[in-house]
Amino acid sequence: MKLCIALDLEHQEQNLKLLENLHNFPNLWVKVGLRSYIRDGKNFLNLIKQINPEFKIFLDLKLYDIPNTMIDSALECAKLNVDMITIHTSSGRIAMSALMQSLKSLQKRPLVFGVTALTSFDNSTFEEIYHTSIDTQATLLAKIAYESNLDGIVCSAYESLSIKQHTHKDFLTLTPGIRPFAEDADDQKRVATIQQAYENQSDFIVVGRPIYKSANPILTVKKIYEEIEKCKS
Ligand code: C5P
């Protein structure tokens, strides 16, 4: 299970400073989401690589559009040399399959993860929109994403294991909403601990505010690494 840090701070300098202090942690993934990418763009990705070329970059733009626009946008993301991107699974089978087909022709392509139900939904707010439970919908969307050749799924830790059981054990899951040490849930509803994510076979955990809002982010990351090791033993 790998840690992915969400770089959602208010200023580019704050994100870079955080990373400079973390450059010694092995196998660290860094997530550039909408806020940072809209503000700081491609140059931010280059600056991250300058701090440590080994950092893996996850560009979390959650593409959701008609197939043609999604394909073109995914190809543009691939040109940025990032290691992982996200799309919405509710974009459907045709968009997802075509997008994966067009990325296949590249020498190097990012992993593509499909968002199912955002971790900020609880069952009642989800049902208001989709008229079904999170579990049912996430499983259905995951199956379509698997059949469309995506690499994995974004879901909460609570759906991770069940999604693997309904698709394939090697179909990757990435779980945001992790609160390692009982921190505030903030706007997240389906929050989980590292242990819960591990037990549900999550491949990547995403942690943002519990790290960058903590009094000592380096120590928090160190403790997260220790907690992951503890789960493995
Ligand atoms: O601060 P926190 O740990 O809640 O950050 C979670 C990060 O994961 C945010 O950057 C958010 O955009 C992202 N994310 C999420 N739920 C998803 C997909 C992405 O929380 N389903």
Chain segment 83-123, per-residue pLDDT in tens: 999 999 999 999 999 999 999 999 999 999 999 999 999 99
pLDDT for residue 58: 98
- Regarding the beta carbon of 180 and ligand 1, being less than 6 Å apart is answered no
pLDDT tens for 117-172 read: 999 999 999 999 999 999 999 999 999 999 999 999 999 999 999 999 999 999 99
pTM more than 0.95: yes
Assign 178 to helix, strand or coil.
strand
Which residue positions form the known binding site for substrate?
8, 31, 60-69, 119, 179, 188, 208-209
Split into its structural domains, the chain has a count of: 1
Q: Is there an atom of ligand 1 within 6 Å of 9 CB?
A: no
pLDDT of residue 156: 96
- Please indicate whether residue 35, judged by its CB atom, sits closer than 6 Å to ligand 1: no
Amino acid 222: pLDDT: 97
CA distance 119 to 141: 15
Domain that holds residue 66: 2-232
Q: How far apart are CA 128 and CA 117, in angstroms?
A: 13
Whole-angstrom distance, CA of residue 111 vs CA of residue 109: 7
Nearest CA-CA partner of 31 in 18, 21, 159: 18
For the CA of 8, the closest atom of ligand 1 is 10
* Ligand 1 center–CA 188 separation, angstroms: 8
CATH number of the domain bearing residue 20:
3.20.20.70
